[in-house]
Chain A
Amino acid sequence: MCNNIKIDGEAVEFVQGDTILQAAERAGKGHLIPRYCYHPGLPIAGTCRMCTVEVEKMPKLMTACSTIATDGMVVNTKSERVLKSRAGVMEFLLTNHPLDCPVCDKAGECELQDNNYRYGPVTSSFLEEKRVYSKAATKKLSPNITLNMNRCVHCERCVRFTEEVVKSCDLMMINRGWHKELTLSDEKLGLTSNYQGCLSDICPVGAHTFNDFRFKKRSWFLEQYPSVCDRCSKGCNISVHSENGVVYRFKPHYNEKVNGHWICDEGRLSYHQVMDATRIVKPLLAHEGSLKSTSWELAGAAVNYLITSASKVKVVIGTDATNEEMKYIQASLPDKFGKKFEFSSYCGYGEDKKLDHMLMMKDKTPNSNGASACKLNHLDGDLVGDCDVAILIRYGRSGVPQVKNCKKIIIIGVWTQKEIGSFGTNVEVVLPGLATTEKSGTYINCDGVSQNFSPAIAHLGEGLAVNSIISFFKK
């Protein structure tokens, strides 16, 4: 049962059916084998020839990505032949690459840069004019993706992605050799999938660039921290790219159980809501007909007064709160004030169901299952009514509930000015909370996977975690 191959003289175990490259990845030796066309989330093509390795008793160099590992194989990734082959491949790739790294958004995270730095020749023997796709130098394939054909190294990852993963078959290669060119299958339709951002992720060079991030920031300035996408109940794993507390993009973070290598465009762009300019980041207090910014102490005292003087208080928690927040609110509020509260949850998107064959879900809040786990009853018809004080706790993702026959409203969490404006003048206090990227906690996704996450960026303004907010309600 002992399946072993030797990579650079070291025995490595593999699972039956693995290719050499996969076996190396499994053993943590993936960095020894450079690759372009191979991507773990895509079918194997074997077109780029970058991953060639020397296998004993095989006369030619073998592509590591497509050669099935067999017991007793002896693989050499650093032999002179292999290095010469890689240098040759790099030189061929660079004959037509424009080397416009200063302009290219991929610079800094570009596989062509990395591999050329490690394995490429210092000089090029190519003296001729570089090929230039004059027609489609930069072409907007869709509102999200811009294609720069000159940078393309023809790895066809994007074509395989549209064909095999999202199955939209938007992209195809036409012509051959020197004239090989990536085009849309249907120029009028353009890119149709909801996973276009992944094209720029999987592209090993800067051919596909994501318009939302295009020219915004150079990648080497960005700090990366893992978090969980809260745009739908799937809870895709993401890495948050930020600089100085400003988020510039979300990128997918590999998680076999949840999202694999991908996230949808909606989730990718959802960082705009966190960084919204109209998001309320200071405690507000109603004063003479309008909301004025105040201190946490004053806001806490106002909440204190409202709750103690009210006879019936309803607490509505959005299903975008973490398990910890839901439990803490349910436990601490009655304990603090010594009276009964009516707790309920709401999401605002109705019954959950899959929207496509991949990741997108109908429920646009991350923690509906968590709310059930915390024994919160779902709000009937998204309508809060008939109470003295309604406390609305929500973190920017669930819908805005309707409020009827409530004299006073206390608002906690992540809200924009427009959302608060929909309640009219009943709002007494607004207490800013932390968005998902700014806090730690646990979500239970649509498949029942419980995911813990940590803060990825510093919080905006004066927002506080819910336990800190409640600590201001003195009693």
Chain B
Amino acid sequence: MATKTVNVSKPYTWSEKIYLLAIVQGLLITLKHFINGFFLRKHNTIMYPEVRREYSDRFRGAHFISIDRNKTENCTACYLCQTVCPAECITIVAGERESAHNPDGVKKEKQPVKFDIDALRCCFCGFCEEACPKDAIKLSGKYEMAITSREEAKYDLVYLKREVKGRG
């Protein structure tokens, strides 16, 4: 099959060559935006601390462990999230729960003694959330995770058991 070369570039016209017309057109475009911004106060900026971006419900942010009405974590330290975690950021140490029966009658004989998530290693894939048989570990909608030291990036059980309304 013979190939046919087509030159799609066309030479500049005289008015294009001297640029001035294009410059004026460009200036008019920026002037339009300037007027929009200056007089009509149109802008795309979200005024961040006061206004927040609405993320999708499926956004995956900072982790939390859901708690029941007795403030007991639903986690039973089954290690499934630790097993599935591709970043290996979850560290669990399991232990026996002191009261095998909790007032709700939900039996939770095993509990996490230590449950650490290294947020710096975490890739927020959400596999832990899917693996969890107790719907205990979840990813909230919280996206402000700035920290001032590496230690703060280690989410411990106290932090993870925080009260989260809705998706946080």
Known contacts A215-B77, A215-B96; A103/B83 CB under 8 A: no
Q: Give A99's nearest chain B residue, CB to CB.
A: B133
CA distance A148 to B133 in the complex (A): 20
B119 CB contacts on chain A under 8 angstroms:
none
A137 part of interface (Cβ distance < 8 Å): yes
| Cβ distance B137 to chain A, nearest Cβ, rounded Å | 12
Question: Does B154 belong to the interface (CB within 8 Å)?
Answer: no
Chain A residue contacts of B133, Cβ below 8 A: 101-102
A137 and B83 contact, Cβ closer than 8 Å, known pairs A102-B133, A102-B134, A103-B76: no
Asked if B158 is at the interface of the complex by the 8 Å CB criterion, the answer is: no
- Binary contact track A198-216/B, C-beta < 8 Å → 1, others 0: 0000000000000000111
Q: State whether A103 and B80 are in contact (beta carbons under 8 Å apart), knowing that A137-B101, A215-B94, A215-B96 are contacts in the complex.
A: no
CB <8 Å contact, B79 and A103: no
Chain B contacts for A218, CB-based, 8 A: 78-79, 83
| Residue A220 is within 8 A (CB to CB) of chain B in the complex | yes
- State whether A102 and B80 are in contact (beta carbons under 8 Å apart), knowing that A137-B101, A137-B107, A138-B109 are contacts in the complex: yes
**B37 near A: Cβ within 8 Å?**
no
Task: Point out the residues of chain A lying under 8 angstroms from B108, CB to CB.
Answer: 103
CA A107 to CA B79, docked complex, whole Å? 11
Asked if B168 is an interface residue, CB under 8 A from chain A, the answer is: no
Q: Are A214 and B107 in contact (CB under 8 A)?
A: no
Provide the bound-state CA to CA distance between A216 and B78, in Å: 11
Q: Tell me if A102 and B100 are in contact (CB < 8 A).
A: no
Of chain B, the residue at the smallest CB distance from A218 is: B79
> A137–B76 contact, CB under 8 A?
no
Q: Looking at the assembled complex, report how far the CB atom of A33 sits from the nearest CB atom of chain B, in whole angstroms.
A: 31
Distance, CA A100 to CA B80, complexed state (A): 13
Q: Which residues of B contact A221 (CB under 8 A)?
A: 79, 83
CA A102 to CA B92, docked complex, whole Å: 13
Per-position binary interface string of chain B over residues 99-111, scored 1 when its CB falls under 8 Å from any chain A CB and 0 otherwise: 0110000011110
Cβ of B96: which chain A residues have Cβ within 8 Å of it? Answer: 214-215
Would you call B26 an interface residue if the criterion is a C-beta within 8 Å of the partner chain's C-beta atoms? no
- Return B124 CB to nearest CB of chain A, in Å: 23
Cβ-defined contact, B109 with A102, below 8 A: no
Interface of A: prevailing SS:
loop
In chain B, positions 98-135 with a C-beta closer than 8 Å to chain A are 100-101, 107-110, 133-134
Residues of B within 8 A of A214 (CB): 96
Using known A-B contacts A102-B133, A137-B101, determine if residue A216 contacts B76 with beta carbons closer than 8 Å.
Answer: no
Interface hub of A102, A216, A218 (most chain B Cβ within 10 A): A102
Count of chain A residues near B, Cβ 8 A: 14
Nearest B residue to A214 by beta-carbon distance? B96
Set A100, A101, A138: member contacting B100, Cβ < 8 A:
A138
Docked pose: A216 CA to B94 CA in angstroms: 7
Q: Which of B95, B109, B110 contacts A137 (CB 8 A)?
A: B109
**When the two chains form the complex, which single residue of B78, B95, B101, B107 contacts A102, counting CB atoms closer than 8 Å?**
B78
A103 with B95: in contact, given A137-B109, A220-B83 (CB under 8 Å)?
A: no
Q: A103 — which chain B residues lie within 8 A by C-beta?
A: 76-78, 108-110
- A219-244 contact mask (Cβ, 8 Å, vs B): 1 or 0: 01100000000000000000000000
Inside 8 A of B79's CB, which chain A residues have their CB? 218, 221
- A148 to B110: give the CA distance in the assembly, Å: 12
Q: What separation, in Å, do the CA atoms of A218 and B101 have in the docked complex?
A: 23
| A137 partner residues in chain B, CB cutoff 8 A | 100-101, 107, 109
- What is the CB-to-nearest-CB distance from B102 to chain A, in angstroms, rounded to a whole number? 12
Given A103-B110, A137-B109, A138-B100: A215 and B95 interface contact (C-beta under 8 Å) = yes
Q: A102-B80, A102-B133, A137-B100 are in contact. Are A215 and B107 (CB under 8 A)?
A: no
- Tell whether, in the assembled complex, residue A102 and residue B76 are in contact, meaning their CB atoms are under 8 Å apart: yes
The distance in angstroms between the C-alpha atoms of A322 and B79, with both chains bound, is 39
Q: Mark A86-102, 1 if CB is under 8 A from B, else 0.
A: 00000000000000111
1/0 per residue B41-57: CB within 8 Å of A? 00000000000000000
Looking at A100, A103, A107, the one whose CB has the most chain B CB atoms below 10 A away is A103
Taking the closest CB of chain A, its distance from the CB of B84, in whole angstroms, is: 12
In the complex, chain A residues whose CB is within 8 Å of the CB of B77: 103, 215
CA distance A221 to B80 in the complex (A): 11
Q: What residue in chain A is nearest B110 (Cβ atoms)?
A: A103
Chain B: CB-nearest residue to A134: B101
Contact partners of B110 in chain A: CB under 8 A: 103, 215
**Complex Cα distance A148/B108, Å?**
12
Bound together, the chains give a CA A216 to CA B109 distance in angstroms of 14
Of residues B101, B107, B108, which shows the largest number of chain A Cβ atoms within 10 Å of its Cβ? B107
CA distance A215 to B94 in the complex (A): 5
State in angstroms the CA–CA spacing of A239 and B101 once bound together: 35
Contacts of A216 in B (CB 8 A): 94
Q: How far is the CB of B79 from chain A (nearest CB, A)?
A: 5
- Which A-chain residue is minimally distant from B95 (CB atoms)? A215
Residues of B within 8 A of A102 (CB): 76, 78, 80, 133-134
Determine the distance from Cα of A228 to Cα of B101 in the docked complex, in whole angstroms. Answer: 41
> Whole-angstrom distance between the alpha carbons of A220 and B84 in the complex?
12
CB of A313 to closest CB in B, whole Å: 48
Q: Which of B51-105 contact A (CB under 8 A)?
A: 76-80, 83, 94-96, 100-101
- Smallest beta-carbon distance B47→chain A, Å: 45
A148 proximity list for chain B (CB < 8 A): 109
Q: How far is the CB of B136 from chain A (nearest CB, A)?
A: 10
Show 21 residue pairs from A and B whose CB-CB distance is below 8 angstroms, ordered by the A residue. Answer: A100-B76, A100-B107, A101-B78, A102-B76, A102-B78, A103-B108, A103-B109, A107-B78, A137-B100, A137-B101, A138-B100, A138-B109, A148-B109, A215-B95, A215-B110, A216-B94, A218-B78, A218-B79, A218-B83, A221-B79, A221-B83
Report the 4 A-B pairs with minimum CB-CB distance, sorted nearest first. Answer: A102-B78, A215-B94, A218-B79, A103-B110
Q: Which residues of B contact A (CB under 8 A)?
A: 76-80, 83, 94-96, 100-101, 107-110, 133-134
